[in-house]
Chain A
Amino acid sequence: MRRCEYRELGRVRYRQACELQRRLVERRKAQEIPDQLLFLEHPHVITLGRNAQPENIVAEEDVLRRAGVEVCETDRGGDVTYHGPGQLIGYPILDLGAWKRDVAAYVGALEETIIGALAEFGVAAHREPGMRGVWTKNGKIAAIGVHISRWVTSHGFALNVTTDLDYFRFIVPCGLTKPVTSMEREGAQTGCSDVAAALVRHFGRVFECEMVLGERTEEMAS
């Protein structure tokens, strides 16, 4: 059975997390390490994907500064999104060559993992046809954005646990996107750690791998 190391890194700045992922991806490509699953939270940050249009940040610069929100460009695809405390981030560094060379299947498996974990907390979630991410009847609860290089994945998913959803207003243009929600708003009383534990179980089930708690090496702590 394939092995996947998971770690909880606590709160990590966005740029730092990108740098860490970049190093792990290189080591994964070189087959120096097994698959990895990182759990963390980011301080308030708005990230712009490759094709993001800066005007989709609707808040004025000084509003963001006063709210303590950083703005970062990233090599992830897609548009603008928000990350912040209370949102559990999962970054799997997987070699899909050893699983399935299928990006749609990969994203689908991430969704299944999240839906399974949410069910443990009594939150009924589902996929929306034609859209990615995980949804409840009240809105989007988890977002997915992935980067793949030679079938090694980086970036991943962001699940709103107790996220202050007000921050999403900074980036929602025209109120045209669908609403966002969180586990808290769905009535689940829990925290990121418990949710991470549930995600680990479901990740192992869906990806058919043995989940092993990884050591906190210096690299991870940096």
Chain B
Amino acid sequence: MIDVIMPQMGESITEGTLTRWLKQAGDRVERDEPLFEISTDKVDTEIPAPAAGVLKEVLVKEGDTVAINTVVARIEEEGGAAAGPKAEEAETAPAEPAVTVPAAAEAPAAEAPASEPQAPAAVAEAKAVEAGAPPEAPARGEVKGPISPLVRRLAREHNLDLSLIKGTGAGGRITKQDVEAYLAERKAASMGAARAAAPAAEAAPAAGVEKVEPVEPAGAPKIRVEAMSTMRQKIAEHMVYSKRTSAHVTTVHRADVTKIVKLRNALKGQFQERYGFSLTYMPFFTRAAAQALREFPLVNASIDGTNIVYHNEIHIGIAVALDNGLIVPVIRHADALSIVGLQRAIVDLAGRARAKKLKPDEVQGGTFSITNFGSFGSLFATPVINQPNVAILGVGAITKEPVVTADDAIAIRSVCFLSLTFDHRLIDGALADQFTSRVKEILEDWDEKVL
């Protein structure tokens, strides 16, 4: 067996991500034929096979990042000069399930993939394996037509061999629907097979491999590695970028929102009836913030090098939690909207954010942001600034608390914490507190009509 290793693509490079296998376990490969692709630092590289033979073991999955010189696969040589049959014939060889042996810890350091031919003993073994394989074992073969990234991703997620799927798209191209149909079929088949049960299963293990959902063995692996979605990567990048850019400081004020809670309770039925969507607290906080931003334009600014950019318009981004991420659609000219207008905008943007129907300019150009972690029960948090803003207002959960009132009585009031994270490069604590106090004041002394 010849070890195929993750090559070193440069002096400073210590690892590489295996992005794609161009051959599958069981495929014949020619020496120097592209075998897999790796990605290092914006560069994608095709790596050729170090020797001709059959790709026996694939040890590293697509999407995994491993250290250089890690063994990623093993090729069983077909002895001597036997150039051997080309792909078509090789495809009748058994498609072995990918073996999930952990990659050998330390492969010998080598400059290039090893290519010394190995002992002929291996050849006999190879023949034996081939002879014993059932002829109808599924092969990972050619796939008709180009494969869309969506289909490729589905195949990866479900560990599918696309050559087994019949394409119904243009030119036999596999569509998303084809994959879904195949998955449904496979699920039904595996349920049927389970009922038909034991004896047959043992007879044809190889044939069953593709049909049965993988089951974790008793000694299950201790970790599971999964590639981040692109959105996750973007969020990660953005968060770190923001932390590196701004001098984050958070100040927390407590607001008595009893008046607003009462107002909302009194109006919510009528509101729902009249407008067809419910009244939440978010428009109140947004309205209060918009008003305060008008009075403190520095909080609505951004930094450009050594300049301060004052935005004469107030566009407020509202953080919306998605299933596996977060997006900040922007309410444009938020200061020009009434409570009804704000609520309508929030319902619309949040709904379309979750349906992934936002237009590009609806997530751009915000001058300030609000995040409502209180809806998940958080009392207060220290949000990260949404660049290039210089502040973000976090709204904590509204709770009923015993409060000492101005006339020294103890009363049950609805309160919440307002946390303002501000960029201390531009905004000093005094200003941040003036701004947050103003938001609090507007909320506590709410005098605006809602309906």
Q: Which residues of A contact B (CB under 8 A)?
A: 48-56, 58-60, 63, 73, 75-79, 100-107, 132-133, 137-138, 144-150, 169-179
Is the CB–CB distance between A77 and B19 below 8 Å?
Answer: yes
Q: Taking A138-B304, A175-B366 as contacts, is the C-beta distance between A102 and B359 under 8 angstroms?
A: no
| Bound-complex Cα distance A5 to B261 (A) | 73
Is the CB–CB distance between A51 and B19 below 8 Å?
Answer: yes
Of all A-B residue pairs in the complex, the 8 with the closest CB atoms, nearest first, are: A77-B44, A102-B10, A169-B360, A104-B10, A148-B45, A175-B363, A176-B234, A132-B42
Q: What residues of B have a CB within 8 angstroms of the CB of A103 in the complex?
A: 9-10, 13, 40-41, 43, 45
| Bound-complex Cα distance A89 to B34 (A) | 27
Is the CB–CB distance between A60 and B359 below 8 Å?
Answer: yes
Is the CB–CB distance between A77 and B39 below 8 Å?
Answer: yes
What does DSSP make chain B's interface, helix, strand, loop or mixed?
mixed
Q: Which residues of B contact A (CB under 8 A)?
A: 9-13, 19-20, 32, 34, 37, 39-46, 48, 146, 148-150, 153, 229-231, 234-235, 237-238, 241, 304-305, 317, 325-328, 330, 356-361, 363-364, 366, 387-388
Q: What residues of A have a CB within 8 angstroms of the CB of B325 in the complex?
A: 174
Q: What residues of A have a CB within 8 angstroms of the CB of B19 in the complex?
A: 50-51, 77
| Bound-complex Cα distance A107 to B11 (A) | 13
Q: How far is the CB of A148 from chain B (nearest CB, A)?
A: 4
Q: What residues of A have a CB within 8 angstroms of the CB of B46 in the complex?
A: 147-150
Is the CB–CB distance between B364 and A169 below 8 Å?
Answer: yes
Partner of A76, one of B44, B230, B358, B359: B44
Tally of contacts, chain A with chain B, CB under 8 A: 144
Interface CB pairs A-B, < 8 A, 11: A78-B39, A102-B10, A104-B13, A145-B42, A147-B44, A148-B43, A173-B327, A174-B231, A177-B234, A177-B238, A178-B387
| Bound-complex Cα distance A49 to B326 (A) | 24
Q: What residues of B have a CB within 8 angstroms of the CB of A63 in the complex?
A: 359
Is the CB–CB distance between A174 and B230 below 8 Å?
Answer: no
Q: What residues of B have a CB within 8 angstroms of the CB of A50 in the complex?
A: 19-20, 37, 44, 149
Is the CB–CB distance between A178 and B241 below 8 Å?
Answer: yes
Q: How far is the CB of B296 from chain A (nearest CB, A)?
A: 23
Partner of B230, one of A60, A132, A173: A173
Q: What residues of A have a CB within 8 angstroms of the CB of B317 in the complex?
A: 175
Is the CB–CB distance between B326 and A169 below 8 Å?
Answer: no
Q: What residues of B have a CB within 8 angstroms of the CB of A77 in the complex?
A: 19, 37, 39, 42-44
| Bound-complex Cα distance A177 to B233 (A) | 10
Is the CB–CB distance between A176 and B237 below 8 Å?
Answer: yes
Is the CB–CB distance between B230 and A104 below 8 Å?
Answer: no
Is the CB–CB distance between B364 and A175 below 8 Å?
Answer: yes
Q: How far is the CB of A134 from chain B (nearest CB, A)?
A: 12
Q: How far is the CB of A178 from chain B (nearest CB, A)?
A: 6
Identify the closest chain A residue to B240 (Cβ).
A130
| Bound-complex Cα distance A176 to B231 (A) | 9
Q: Taking A50-B20, A104-B11 as contacts, is the C-beta distance between A169 and B361 under 8 angstroms?
A: yes
Identify the closest chain A residue to B241 (Cβ).
A178
| Bound-complex Cα distance A144 to B39 (A) | 13
Identify the closest chain B residue to A79 (Cβ).
B230
Is the CB–CB distance between A104 and B9 below 8 Å?
Answer: yes
Is the CB–CB distance between A148 and B328 below 8 Å?
Answer: no
Is the CB–CB distance between A102 and B237 below 8 Å?
Answer: no
Q: What residues of B have a CB within 8 angstroms of the CB of A147 in the complex?
A: 43-46
Q: What residues of A have a CB within 8 angstroms of the CB of B32 in the complex?
A: 150
| Bound-complex Cα distance A63 to B326 (A) | 24
Q: Taking A77-B19, A102-B11 as contacts, is the C-beta distance between A172 and B364 under 8 angstroms?
A: yes
Identify the closest chain A residue to B239 (Cβ).
A176
Q: Taking A59-B360, A144-B42 as contacts, is the C-beta distance between A150 and B327 under 8 angstroms?
A: no
Q: What residues of B have a CB within 8 angstroms of the CB of A132 in the complex?
A: 41-42
Partner of A104, one of B41, B229, B360, B366: B41
Q: What residues of B have a CB within 8 angstroms of the CB of A144 in the complex?
A: 42
Q: How far is the CB of B33 from chain A (nearest CB, A)?
A: 11
Partner of B235, one of A60, A170, A171, A174: A174
Specify which of A77, A106, A146, A178 lies most central, judged by the most chain B CB atoms within 10 Å of its CB: A77
Identify the closest chain B residue to A157 (Cβ).
B42
Identify the closest chain A residue to B357 (Cβ).
A60
Q: Taking A48-B149, A104-B11, A149-B34 as contacts, is the C-beta distance between A173 and B45 under 8 angstroms?
A: no
Q: Taking A78-B42, A149-B46 as contacts, is the C-beta distance between A174 and B363 under 8 angstroms?
A: yes
